[in-house]
Chain A
Amino acid sequence: MDNRQKEIDNLKDYKYGFTTDIENTRAPKGLNEDVIRFISNIKKEPQWMLDFRLKAFERFKQLKEPDWQKPKYPKIDYQDLYYYSAPKSMKDKPKNLDDLDPKLLETYKKLGIPLQEQKRLNGIAVDAVFDSVSVATTFREELTKQGIIFCPISEAIQNHPELVKKYLGSVIPVTDHFFATLNSAVFTDGSFAYIPEGVRCPMELSTYFRINASNTGQFERTLIVADKGSYVSYLEGCTAPMRDENQLHAANVELVALDDAEIKYSTVQNWYPGDKDGKGGIYNFVTKRGLCKGKNSKISWTQVETGSAITWKYPSCILKGDNSVGEFYSIAITNNHQKADTGTKMIHLGKNTKSKIISKGISAGFSDMTYRGLVDISSKAANSNNYTQCDSLLMGSKCGAHTVPYIRNKNSESNIAHEATTSKISEEQLHYCQQRGLSPEEAVGLIVNGFCKEVLQQLPMEFAVEAQKLVGISLEGSVG
C-alpha cells in the first residue's frame, strides 16, 4: 500500500512538467510571408513546398476563426507567437545519436523515451519531435531493409519528394478549415511513414511530441501512407512543460490507406492540462483525417485524451473505397478546469462500408466534455453500416457532459444505430466494491477501468498499461 501511495503521490502532479534549458533558434515573432519563407528556407525546402505553404497562407488570410465549439477560449493573438523554435544544436543536423546534444538525450530519458540504441523500447521505432524539429528517429536501418520509409517529414520532402507531393494535402487540402490551413502554412516537422506494397510493418512506429520553448505554437504534420496490402500500427505520445500561459498546438495528421491496407493510429495525449485553477495548459486543436482510398482498406483511430486545457479534435475517416472500414475508439477524461470537444466523423462514400464508434467520456471537477460526431451515409454508399455508442460518466456536480451527434442517412439499404447514455457511478456499484474491501478510490478506479475497457483493449500492449495508469491519475482527487 505504501508503495502504491508513493507512486500515486509521484504521479499526482504532472510529472512531465519540467523544462529543458537549451539554446533555441527561433523564427521572428509573428505570422507573415517572411516567417513562412524563413521556415521554408531553414529547412532547405524545394520551391513546390514553399508554394504549398504560401497558397495555404493566402487562404488562411481569408478564413475566420471558428467559434461554434463548446469550450470557449480567450482570443489567440496569432502575431504574438513564435512559429519556429529549434534547439541550436540541431542547426547542423547531427549525423548520429552520439552527436546529439546530451541535454536532449537527457530530456527524452526523463520522459521515459530512451533514444540510445541499447536502451531502446523493444520493438518500437521512435521519431522524437522537440518543439519544431525532429531530433532523432530510431530503428531506421531495420525498417529500410523492408522498404519502409520512416523519417521526419522535412527529410521526406528532401528525399522522397514524389511521395510527399502526391499525398501531402490529399486528405486535408490546403483550403481546409482555419487551424488546418494555418498548419499547412507554417508546419515545421513531424513524421512521415510509407509502407510499401504487401509489407506488414514489423514494429510499432511511434512519434513522441514535446513542446519545450515558451510562447511557441507547435505545428507538426504527420503523413502516413499504407500502400496496397500493407499494415502499420502507429503510436503518438505528447507532453509539455508546466507554464502559466496557454500554448497552441495545431497539428495535422493525414492517413492514406490504399487497397487492402490497414492503419492503426493510437494516441495517448497528455499535454500539460493547466493547474488546479485552470491556469495555463495546452490548446490542442488538431486535425486528424484518414482516407480509406482503396478497396477493403481499414483505418482505426484509438485515442486516450487526458491532457490539454482544451482538446478540440475529431479524428475522421473518409470511407471512399468499397468495403472499407473505419473505427474510432476514444477515452476522454477531463478534470479540474479542462475542457474537451471531441469525437469523430465517419463519411461513407463507398459501397459496403462499415464504421464503429465507441466513445467514453469521463468528466470530473469543474470540467466540461462534449462528444460531437458526424455519421454521414451518402446515397451511393449502399449496404453500409454504422454503430455508435457514446457513454459519459459524471463525477461531481460541477462538471458537464454533452453529446451532439449528427446523423445523416441518405441510403435506404444502410443502417445507422446510435446509443448514448449519461450517468454517474452508482452507489450500489461503489457499495459492492467497498464491501469486498476496496477503498473508495480503488473502487472508483476499478469501475472507471471497466467503463473504459472496450477502448483500452484496442491499444497496443505497452501503451495500454501506460494509459490505464494515466486514467487513474487523471481522476485522482475527484472522488469523495
Chain B
Amino acid sequence: MKEQLQKDFDNTIRNLTLSQKDIEIKKFYLDNFINKGFPNRREEDWKFSDLNQIIKKNIGELSFYSDYTSTNKVDTSAFVDGLEHNKIVFINGRIEKIDFDYEKKDQIEIIDQSETINKFNNNSSLSDLNSAFTNKSFKIVVKKDYQLTKPLIIYHTTNSKIWSKNINLRLNFELYENSSLRLIDLFKDTSEKNFLNIFYNFDLKENSVLKNYKVDKFENKNIKYSFNNIEQDKNSISETFILSSGSNFCKNEINCNLNGEYSSAFVNGIFSINNNKHHEIRTIINHLTENTKSYQLIKSVLEDSSRAAYQGKIFVNPKAQKTDGYQLSKALLLSKVSEFNAKPELEIYADDVKCSHGSASGSLSDDSIFYLMSRGLNYQQSTELLINGFLLDVVEKITDPEVKNLIKNMIGIKE
C-alpha cells in the first residue's frame, strides 16, 4: 500500500499549486498515515469495527489519486423534489455545483481553501489521510444575523466511473452570531467498493443554530466514514440526525465541544440495516462549561446478519456544573445472526450534574405482537407497525417540519 500511497500522493500534489511549505505539511500527514495505517480493532475507538479488515475484505487494494480535471455532468433528476433548496453537488468527490439561489448573495461567503492547509483537530489516521489527499476544500460562512431561508442539500453522488478508490472530502462551516443553517447530506451512490472519507468542521458562534441531517438511505456497496467536529459558543444549538442504512459499511462520528454557556447538542440516529451491513455511530459530547445540555437517542433495527455499534460518550469537565446529559440507545434484533454492540460511556468530573444513559437490546415483544394480531392484523403487519412506531420516535425528534416530512417520505414511515 505504501508505494501506491506515495505514487498517488505525488500525482495529487502535481495538480495543485502549493507552496513548498504546504507540500511539506501534506507530506507530514502522509507519513503519519503510512505509519499508522487504517484503524484496526486494537484501537479502542475501532473495537467494534475493524476498518482495516473491512477495507481488505470488501475492496482489496485502494487507490488514492482522483483525477479532477474533467467535469461530470450533473443529473438534475436526482435532485429532491417538492422541497426548494440550495445545493452543493459532489460527483465522485469533485465539486460540480455550488448554488445558493434562494439566499441573499452578500450574506453567504464561499471561500476556496484548497490551496491552504487547515489543521483538523483530530489526530486519527483517517484525518491524516484526509489532510494529505484533499485537493478541494471550501469554507462556507453564514454572516451575522442571517438565517438561510431554504435548506442546503449536499449531494454526495458517486457513479460507476470509479472503483476501489479512496475519496477524501472536507468542508468547513462557520455560523456567525444569530445565524442559522439547515444542512442535509444526501448520499446517492451507483458506484461500488469505494472508500469515502469525509470531514466536516462546524464553528457555531453565539446564538447560532445548526441542523444537520445525514441521510444514507440508498443501497450501495461503498464504505463510508464521516466525521463531524462541532464547536459551540454561548447559546448555540446543534441538532444532528443520522439515518444509517444504505452503505455496506458506514461509521459516523460526532465530536461536539460545548464551549459556551447554555449551548446544547442533540444527536438522534437510526440504524436500519440488513444483509451483511455493518454500521456504527460514535459520539463524543464534551461539556466544557456550566449549564450545557446534550441529548442523544439512537435506535436500531437489525435484520439478517447485519451488525450495528453505538459508542457514545458524555464527558463533563470539572468546570461544567449544572450539566444535563442524556443518552439512550435501543436495538431490535430481528434475526438470529444480527448483532448489536454498545458502549455508552460517562466520564464525569463535576458533581452538580444530571447525567444518565440507558441501553437496551432484544427482539420484538411477543405480547405486543399478540395484542396486534388479536385485533386482526397479520404477523407481518404487526411487526411492521411496531417497527414503524419504534423508529417514528426518533424521526419525531427532528425539529424542522419540512425536513421531517422529507425524511418520513424517504424512509416510508407513517404517522
Indicate if the CB atoms of B318 and A397 lie closer than 8 Å. yes
B350 interface residue per 8 A CB criterion: yes
Max chain B C-beta neighbours (<10 A), residue from A404, A409, A417, A424 = A409
A419 at the interface (CB under 8 A from B): yes
Contact B352 A397 (CB under 8 A): yes
Measured CB to CB, the residues of A under 8 A from B are 68, 379, 392, 394-424
Q: From residue B291, how far is it (CB to closest CB) to chain A in Å?
A: 15
Number of interface residues of B (CB under 8 A): 35
A-B contact pairs, 24 of them (CB 8 A): A379-B339, A392-B348, A397-B350, A399-B349, A400-B347, A400-B349, A403-B346, A403-B357, A404-B345, A406-B342, A407-B342, A408-B341, A409-B331, A409-B333, A409-B340, A412-B333, A412-B362, A416-B362, A417-B358, A420-B344, A421-B355, A422-B354, A423-B355, A424-B351
Once the chains are docked, how many angstroms separate the CA of A408 from the CA of B344?
A: 12
Is A422 within 8 A of B355, CB to CB? yes
> Is the CB–CB distance between B348 and A422 below 8 Å?
yes
In angstroms, Cα B351 to Cα A408, docked, is 30
Contact A398 B318 (CB under 8 A): yes
A422 B344 Cβ-Cβ under 8 A: no
> Which residue of B has the minimal Cβ distance to A376?
B341
With A397-B350, A423-B353 already in contact, the answer to whether A405 and B343 are too (CB < 8 A) is yes
Complex contacts, A424 vs chain B, CB 8 Å? 351-353
Tell me, in angstroms, the Cα distance from A409 to B334 when the chains sit together.
Answer: 12
- Residues of chain A contacted by B406 (CB below 8 angstroms): none
A414's closest neighbor in chain B, by CB?
Answer: B362
CB–CB A419/B356 < 8 A: yes
Q: Give the shortest distance, in Å, between A193 (CB) and chain B (any CB).
A: 36
Contacts of A410 in B (CB 8 A): 337-339
CB nearest to A416 among chain B residues: B361
Q: Closest A-chain residue to B344, C-beta based?
A: A405
Beyond A412-B336, A424-B353: 5 further Cβ-contacts under 8 Å?
A400-B349, A402-B345, A409-B333, A420-B356, A422-B353
Q: Is the CB of A405 within 8 A of B351?
A: no
CA distance A107 to B308 in the complex (A): 56
B367 within 8 A of A: no
Q: Tell whether, in the assembled complex, residue A420 and residue B358 are in contact, meaning their CB atoms are under 8 Å apart.
A: yes
Q: Given A399-B351, A415-B361, verify A421-B336 contact (CB < 8 Å).
A: no
* Interfacial residues of chain B within 272-299, with CB under 8 A of chain A in the complex: none
Inter-chain contact count A-B, CB under 8 Å? Answer: 116
Q: Once bound together, how far apart are the Cα atoms of A411 and B341, in whole Å?
A: 11
Instruction: Please tell me if the beta carbons of B346 and A422 are within 8 angstroms of each other in the complex.
Output: yes
The docked-state distance in angstroms from the alpha carbon of A415 to that of B366 is: 13
**Bound: A423/B324 CA distance, A:** 10
Across the A-B interface, the 3 shortest Cβ-Cβ residue pairs? A415-B362, A412-B333, A394-B351
Cα–Cα distance between A378 and B18 once the two chains are bound (Å)? 53
With both beta carbons as reference points, the residue of chain A lying nearest to B355 in the complex is identified as: A422
Judge if B98 is at the interface, Cβ distance under 8 Å.
no
CB-CB under 8 A from A404, the residues of chain B are 343, 345-346
Beta-carbon contact of B348 and A400 below 8 Å: yes
Q: How far is the CA of A407 from the CA of B352 in the complex (A)?
A: 28
In the bound assembly, the distance between CA atoms of A80 and B239 in angstroms comes to 55
B binding-site residues for A, Cβ under 8 Å: 44, 318, 321, 331, 333-363
Tell me if A412 and B338 are in contact (CB < 8 A): yes
Contact status A411-B333, CB under 8 Å: yes
A394 to B321, CA, bound (A): 12
CB neighbours of B354 from chain A (8 A):
422-423
Chain B residues whose C-beta falls within 8 Å of the C-beta of A405 in the assembled complex: 342-345, 359
Checking B342, B345, B350, B353 against A403 with a beta-carbon cut-off of 8 angstroms, the contacting residue is B345
Are A421 and B360 within 8 A (Cβ)? no
CB pair A402–B362 under 8 Å, yes or no, is no
Q: How far apart sit A421 and B356, CA to CA, in the bound complex (Å)?
A: 4
Residue pair A402, B347 in contact (C-beta under 8 Å): yes
Report Cα–Cα, A398/B350, bound state, in Å: 7
> What B residues does A408 contact at CB under 8 A?
339-342
A181 to B404, alpha carbons, bound, how many Å? 56
**Smallest Cβ-Cβ distance to B323: which chain A residue:** A422
Q: Report B280 CB to chain A, min CB distance, Å.
A: 13
Q: Please name all residues of chain B whose beta carbon is closer than 8 Å to the beta carbon of A68 when the two chains form the complex.
A: 44
Q: Please name the residue on chain B nearest to A393 by beta carbon.
A: B351
Given contacts A412-B335, A424-B351, A424-B352, contact A402 B346 (CB under 8 A): yes
> A401 vs B211: C-alpha distance in the bound complex, in angstroms?
32
Cα A423 to Cα B350 in complex, Å, equals 9
Q: Closest chain B residue to A400 by CB distance?
A: B349
A-chain residues with CB within 8 Å of residue B355 when the two chains form the complex:
421-423
Residues of A within 8 A of B338 (CB): 410, 412
In the complex, A412→B366 CA distance in Å?
13
- Given A397-B318, A415-B362, A419-B356, does the pair A379, B337 have CB atoms closer than 8 Å? yes
Residues in chain B near residue A416, CB distance under 8 A: 359-362
- In the complex, what residues of A have CB within 8 A of residue B318's CB? 397-398
Q: Is the beta-carbon distance between A396 and B361 smaller than 8 angstroms?
A: no
| B336 touching A379, Cβ below 8 Å | yes
Query: How close is A346's CB to chain B, nearest CB, in angstroms?
Result: 14
A394 close to B333 (CB less than 8 A): no
* Residue from the list A396, A397, A401, A418 in contact with B360, Cβ < 8 A: A418
Contacts of B357 in A (CB 8 A): 403, 418-420
Q: How far is the CA of A260 from the CA of B349 in the complex (A)?
A: 44
Give the residue among B321, B355, B362, B363 with the most A Cβ atoms within 10 A. B362
Residue of B nearest to A398 (CB): B318
Alpha-carbon distance between A403 and B354 when the two chains are bound, in angstroms: 14
A179 to chain B, nearest CB (A): 20
Chain A CB within 10 Å — which of B318, B344, B346, B354 has the most? B346
A394-B323 Cα distance, complex, nearest whole Å = 14
CB distance from B100 to the nearest CB of A (A): 44
